[in-house]
Structure 1
Amino acid sequence: MLNISSIVWGVGDLEKSMTFWTVALDYVPREEPEEDWVVLIPREGAGVQLALKLVTSPAARRHHMDLYAENQSAEVARLLSLGATRADWRYEPEADYVMLRDPEGNYFRIIQKNADWF
């Protein structure tokens, strides 16, 4: 079972964007913000997270969805059988996700759900 957990928004000014979205949505940082990354969550109750990622290139892919899975490998296999494709992606060493593309070429990530996140 998959659910939309995060919308990842590429931004040019992390601090300015974080200030705007926390007030606009009444969200708060899930953890202490990093230099280039912050995950915002509803102040109260449940809801979709908004992850802000600093991008330094106008050509960078600026938006994608993060889908959390109970069983990442099973969901990746299921989605590939439905027509998704593996993205040609440069993974960082500690990557906890698999980057896929939908049949139209849009990126999305499958992340193994961590029970501590919510």
Structure 2
Amino acid sequence: MIRIGAIVMSTADTERAGSFWSQALGYDRAANPDFLVPRGSGACRLHLDGQDRTHLDLWTDSEAEQRLEVERLVSLGASRVDWDYPEDADFVVLADPTGTLFCVVDTGR
């Protein structure tokens, strides 16, 4: 089942933003301090990024599920985005009907 796994937040200062948002949300810093994780279960993590734009990461549990969800989302009106993917990409970039970008990530890797 597809779910919001992370919100990627663009910020000029990941350290300051991480300090604020971890306290504001009651999240903990992960091993990578740019990732804030909820203390309980059920909430998505917050990924602070100084180079990427703000967007949702939708998580799937396998490559097969990712493929099915991408097709389902395209059938709902999303479109595939021409993207320069790294060789080992575990994500697919789509745009919603208004052009807002989001990723579908295979967390099974």
More helix by share: 2
* Gapped regions of structure 2 (runs ≥ 5): none
Alpha-carbon distance in structure 1 between the residues aligned to 2:103 and 2:38: 21
Q: 1:22 corresponds to which letter in structure 2?
A: S
Partner of 1:67: 58
Shift of 1:44: 3.1
1:51 and 2:42 matched: no
Q: TM-score, normalised by structure 2?
A: 0.86
Partner of 1:30: 30
Shift of 1:20: 0.9
Partner of 1:18: 18
Alpha-carbon distance in structure 2 between the residues aligned to 1:44 and 1:13: 26
* Gapped regions of structure 1 (runs ≥ 5): 56-60
Residues 98, 20 of structure 1: alpha-carbon distance in 2 compared, 3 angstrom cutoff: same
Q: CA RMSD in A?
A: 1.8
Deviations 1:60-95 (A, max 9, x none): x62110101231011111111221111121222332
Alpha-carbon distance in structure 2 between the residues aligned to 1:94 and 1:52: 21
Q: Which moved further from structure 2: 101-110 or 79-88?
A: 79-88
Residues 30, 76 of structure 1: alpha-carbon distance in 2 compared, 3 angstrom cutoff: same
